[in-house]
Amino acid sequence: MQYQPPVNDIKFILFDVLGADQLHSFEKYADATPDIISAVIEEAGKLAAEVLQPVNKIGDQQGCRYDPDTHAVTTPDGFKEAYKQFTEGGWASLDAPVEFGGQGLPHTLKFIVDEMVCSANLSLGMYPGLTHGAISALYAHGSDELKKTYLSQLVSGEWTGTMCLTEPQCGTDLGMIRTRATPRADGSYGIEGTKIWITGGEHDLVDNIVHLVLAKLPGAPDSTKGISLFVVPKVLPHSGERNPVYCGGLEHKMGIKGSATAVINFEDAQGWMVGEPNDGMRAMFTMMNEARLMVGMQGLGVAEMAYQESLGFALERLQGRSLTGPKNADGPADPIIVHPDVRRMLMRQKVLNEGMRALALFTGHQLDLSVAHPDEAVRQAGDDLVQLLTPVVKAFLTDEGFNNANMGLQVLGGAGFTTDWPLEQLVRDGRIPRIYEGTNGIQAMDLVGRKLGLKGGRLIGLLFDTIKSFLAAHGDAPHHAELASALQSLEEATTWIATNGMQDPEQAGAAATPYLRLTALTVIAYLWSRMAAVAEQQLAAGEGHTDMLEGKLVSARYYFEKLLPESRWLLADIVGGKDSVMALTAEQW
């Protein structure tokens, strides 16, 4: 089926619940009127459905092709044309800096476009996605000369960018990297080494690829404190000469086959330092944090497309009769959507998707407040919440994105297991976002090991205060008691980790993944209560789309009755401690 952009749901969350229709009141976003935002959302949906989705399946069937003689990579048929329409339409520059050709629109719009692009064609969306992170890293940490040399072409999409971290011997433990940067007399550096799993490392969509590469200077500390960041272009901008940066092959993957995941060899290639010596991790984290939010939207995009496909199938597939009597009396059987177990699967998909979208857009809105609001305290609060929620968005949306795709396949039964239907591709494509840009276990450790204690616990304290303020101001909010109970569980879990994790880091490590999930479920509960409250208000006033609003109330009830109770056993898991996790000896495995 053709992708149907969830425009009404997006606008409901963005405007009616979050109040993002007021972003144009900030000087930075003066052009982002509700009409402009609505037009962008609607046009993005058309692009995704009419340009990107039609080449998705062929991307999976053909994959990218590597020529070992020329080291060139060819993308699937139709990708170049679709990418050209994407960039010529200005979609690559949506929230990029105005001074380098960007449109300077709110970051939340970028989140929305990312979801739509990834619903329609996750593989193709990878190419501009990583480029955006490279733009942010160079803009935040590059010299004026580097910005002048690279940013305009990256913003326009004329060039693409990569993030080169991983090596054959190290992934998360980047202190073990072996790529070296040797100073040259002209102020540049000779980059020597091999990077693996490089998204968009080599392809034919553009003429130049700008690699951001982590490497070590001579004599640098043998740890992450000795890592520097370098910009290493495939083609040298000033001379047009080919830099000795070559693709050594492509990874053979279970999914996202239209995305070129390359081995890249730097053979004394010329590069320039970004930021300060031995400060590469700080600069790279600008790119990584942005990429993690983008990957969260990949999970949501996959989940939405899987829901649409499985819902469409359930409405048409005739099989069996309703337990309460025929609903399609003139046909040989009823559509399978009448069966409670099928409904259970579809409701889980629908309710989680809408809750995850609210979580993502809430985070995006906080990001916009952090850079545009005139009040410094509001900007700081926005930044605190974005820092806290980034690992939550990345991990929870990709975990549930995959789970919802897998559940969508189950709705289709045997048909879902065939390549005649798109669900099996969505399951395969949706598996990798849980792994790259830091596995979801790493995200959980980031939340527990870094974010909880950051600034004396200010970040998590702000989240608690935000939810408590809502509860105090809205005593009649839908599902008030259930939300208050979930918040109490999260507070208890936080106290337990703060007490026991300080004494034994393994206690925090064992609790990290259930704690991240508990955080996500609690924040989504807060947002579902807000969404239900707005739905009640609009129904009472005779405003809005009645079916959608009544559906919101049912969906909220489902969330609080069927999904949020998981928070109780997550708390039990956390306070149960590490013993059963760590107890087995080597011989007992």
Structure-token match 């700008």, residue found: 210
Shortest CA distance to 11 belongs to which of 256, 373, 243, 358?
358
- CA angle at 74 for the pair 71 and 80, rounded to the nearest 5°: 140
Shortest CA distance to 131 belongs to which of 166, 169, 102?
102
Token pair for residue 359? 């979580």
Evaluate whether 354 touches 303 at the Cβ level (below 8 Å). no
Backbone angles phi, psi at 422, to 5 degrees: -80, -5
CA 191 – CA 176 distance, rounded (Å): 16
Q: How far is CA 241 from CA 193, 244, 266, 270, in A?
A: 20, 9, 15, 11
Give yes or no: 309 in active site.
Answer: no
Q: How far is CA 444 from the centre of its chain?
A: 15
Helix (H) or strand (E) holding 307: helix 280-316
Evaluate whether 103 touches 96 at the Cβ level (below 8 Å). yes
Evaluate whether 550 touches 536 at the Cβ level (below 8 Å). no
Task: Exactly one of 115, 202, 437, 482 is catalytic; name it.
Answer: 437
Evaluate whether 526 touches 358 at the Cβ level (below 8 Å). no
Produce one character per residue of 266-291: b if its CB has 16 or more CB atoms within 10 Å, e if not. beebbbbbbbeebbbbebbebbbbbb
Evaluate whether 430 touches 502 at the Cβ level (below 8 Å). no
Q: How far is CA 396 from the centre of its chain?
A: 10
DSSP string, 12-42: IIIIIIS-GGGGGGSGGGTT--HHHHHHHHH
CA 379 – CA 211 distance, rounded (Å): 32
Contacts of residue 515, Cβ cutoff 8 Å, sequence gap at least 6: 444, 447, 448, 493, 494, 497, 570, 574
- CA angle at 515 for the pair 411 and 529, rounded to the nearest 5°: 65
In which region does residue 270 sit, left (phi positive, over 0), alpha (psi from -120 to 50) or beta (all else)? beta
DSSP β-bridge partners for residue 143: none
Q: List active site positions.
A: 437
